[in-house]
Structure formats: structure tokens, C-alpha cells
Amino acid sequence: MGQKKDLTGSEKSKIVRYLAEGCSSLKIAKLLKRDHRTIKRFIQNSQQGRKKRVEKPRRKITAHELRKVKRAAAKMPLATSLAIFQSCNITGVPKNTRCAILRDMAKVRKAERRPPLNKTHKLKRQDWAKKYLKTDFSKVLWTDEMRVSLDGPDGWARGWIGKGQRAPVRLRCQQGGGGVLVWAGIIKDELVGPFRVEDGVKLNSQSYCQFLEDTFKQWYRKKSASFKKNMIFMQDNAPSHTSKYSTAWLARKGIKEEKLMTWPPCSPDLNPIENLWSIIKCEIYKEGKQYTSLNSVWEAVVAAARNVDGEQIKTLTESMDGRLLSVLAKKGGYIGR
């Protein structure tokens, strides 16, 4: 009987089965027509198993150090476990140990995208909903700015938050910073824009009005007199929007009093164009897409906006009656979008 080098997978399975049936190694060798030494070596190697992992002694954390970690977690919301421990001058603690310690006093959270509403905010949101409850929202032009970056949307920050603490608000950088600032509007089933704010321009009152002069006014002047008479212009409470300079400029264009919608504070959830921004961002950043230039991300925004049809926009603008009823039902609280 010749000795072969290696056992096949089928032979190994048979050896295990024969051992389970109580066969000796010698009998198995005869059944498989293999050398007895080969069978015996396989059985011995299988019985030895893997060597146990030798764990290094873990760094012990004192009660004093635990108190320091707890204070650091409270002072450094959304920080990583490593940053928290390093701020306490505690070194040599593996990540799984750091996380196990922090789970007893904190939890991993994302930054809040919306600021908390106080009593005044909620009352103003309710007053706004009551004021416009009978409005024909197909006549409202909803406007807003959106910032798009090369790497993806803002608000992805995650980190440890002490128990009982709120996650800090992470505001989106709409004015200044990297990326492209985009302005657009929606009315009924029509998309106005998008228009790109010139790179490096910070939207103060003067630059905002000049921007509207160069973009929005070109669209507005083509509309009929009856359209202009009934249209209501909506913008949020950004300082460049609500300044005396901007208000006067809009008034000279006939957009004043009831034709200029008042807007409650902290209310992005009530503006349907925010949902349009979500649609565009999902499209331009799908599958983790990133960009290497501002022009390329702007081209992606234009292409994504072109793919948004009138029915989608109409669905957003027709959602306003439901939003007003929801904010009243929630007594001024945030509504789902």
C-alpha cells in the first residue's frame, strides 16, 4: 500500500465519520487504503486544535479615572472614545475596553440637525399655521439655499454623548466655507432654477438682492400680470433675507405685505423645498459618490434637478395643508418630513 502525501477533503470527512462509529485508526487506514501513519497524524493534529490566544493584561481603570472620563464625555460631545481618554491622560486602554466603559455613562449619537424648539418658537409656529390655513399654496413660491460639498452632505458627525445630555446642534454651512451654494424655488409644479451663487460670495443683504436681480427677476418678469398679482414669495429668516435693505428691494418689485410670507423661526420642516434638496442630494451622492471640483458637483446638481418632474414638485407643494394641520396637532412641535 503506497503512502500518499495529502488526504483529500472526502477522505477527511470519512475519517471523522469512521471515528464517530468507533473504528480504530488501523481499521480506517485499511478501509481508505491509506498508510496508517497518515491517518494517525491527521487524527493527532485534529485533536490538538488551535492554540488558545494569550490575552495581554488589560490596563486597570481607577475610580478617579472613571470620574475624569465621565466629566470629559460631558464636556466633549460627539468625541471619539480615544479623544475622550486622551484628554484625561489615560493611555494604553484598548478600544473595546474604552467603549465598554463609556457605555455605562454615555451612548453614541449623531449630531442634531434641527435646533430644539422653545415655547416662543412653538407659539409662533402655531400662529403661522393658523394665519395661512386657508391659503392657496399653489400660488406660493417656496425658496431656499442649499450648500453642496465635494464629499457629501453635512450632518454625519457621530460620537459619544453623556447619558441625559442632548446631542449638540450641527448647523449646515450655507454661507461661506467650501462647496457650492445653490438657490432655487418651487411653485405648484414648477422648479425655478437651480441657480449657482458665485464662488466666494457671502450672501449679505446687497449680494442677495443682486443675486435675485440676476436670476429670480429674469424668471419673474416673464410671468403674466395676474400671476404676479397672486404670487406669494416665501423665504426663511436668514439675516440677508429679512434685513431692511432686502425688504425694501422686494417691495420695489411689488413683493410686500401679504405678498411676502412671514416665516416662523426654526422651521425648515415646514418648507417643502427642503424635501427637494433631499431628493437632489440623494441623487448626487448615491453609492458614496464624491467629487473633485466645484464645477463637477454643480453639474451633478443641475442634472439631478432636471430629472425632478412636475408631479414630484406638485406633491411637495400640495403637502402644505397637511403640514399646517400637523404642526397644530403637535402644538407647534416639529413634524416629520
pLDDT tens track for 304-326: 999 999 999 999 999 999 999 99
Confidence of residue 158 (pLDDT cuts 50, 70, 90): low
CA distances 209 to 164, 179, 215, 244, 247, Å, are 44, 21, 10, 11, 9
To the nearest whole number, what is the mean pLDDT of the chain?
Answer: 86
What is the reported pLDDT for 154? Answer: 53
Q: CA-CA-CA-CA torsion for 201, 204, 205, 206, nearest 10 degrees?
A: -40
Check whether 177 has a pLDDT greater than 50.
Answer: no
What is the reported pLDDT for 105? Answer: 87
Mean pLDDT of 80-95: 89
CA 202/CA 198 separation, integer angstroms: 9
Check whether 159 has a pLDDT greater than 80.
Answer: no
CATH architecture group of domain 119-154+176-330: 2-Layer Sandwich (3.30)
pLDDT digits (tens, 9 = 90+) for 240-252: 999 999 999 999 9
Check whether 95 has a pLDDT greater than 70.
Answer: yes
Q: Cβ contacts of residue 217 below 8 Å, gap of 6+?
A: 253
Mean pLDDT of 66-92: 88
Contact, 261 vs 233, CB < 8 A? yes
What is the reported pLDDT for 174? Answer: 45
**pTM beyond cutoff 0.75:** no
Confidence of residue 88 (pLDDT cuts 50, 70, 90): very high
Among 337, 335, 332, 274, smallest CA distance to 117 is for 332
Sheet strand arrangement including 140-148: 190-196, 180-187, 140-148, 232-234
What is the reported pLDDT for 284? Answer: 92
